[in-house]
Amino acid sequence: MSNFGRTTYNFKTMKLATTIIRILIGLFLLFASISFFLKLMPETEATGNFKAFNAGLVASVYLIPLAKAVELLCGLSYVTGKYVTLANIVILPVTINILLINYFMSPETLPIAALLFLGNLFLIWRYWHNYKSVFTP
């Protein structure tokens, strides 16, 4: 097989991987946000530091609905494949916070948070050509 064949194969494989990861993350974000807004799942009982942290988030009134609205919009973007470059950057602070909250306060769900964060980083890497102009003087 020539190098051209390998390059074509790798390109197709990476394109497929990108599409799969993008859609999976989009479905996860849609599920989380729609479940929140439509109250489809019961709230889990928080304990310890996470309980105090969660009480603060709820007391702020706007923060959780704002994060869930961002998740909903980015989930729609990922599933439809429209505005993915923008969605990657908009959802990054949310995925970082999900990762850190799970790391420090709810380690039992850390693998899911880590996969979400790594998927977000992967998509940023795959769409990096769209961000080059932002980082060049």
Q: What is the pLDDT of residue 42?
A: 84
pLDDT, position 48: 80
Domain extent at residue 110: 3-135
Interhelix angle 84-105/63-80, nearest 10 degrees: 130
Q: What is the pLDDT of residue 45?
A: 78
Place of tokens 């980083």: 121
Indicate the pTM of the whole model.
Answer: 0.86
Residue 53 to residue 12: CA distance in whole angstroms: 44
Averages of pLDDT over runs of 10 residues in the chain (137 residues) are 59 91 97 94 80 88 94 98 96 96 91 96 94 85
Q: How many domains does the chain have?
A: 1
3-class state of residue 38 by DSSP:
coil
Rounded distance between C-alpha atoms, residue 135 and residue 119, angstroms: 22
Q: Can you give the pLDDT at residue 58?
A: 86
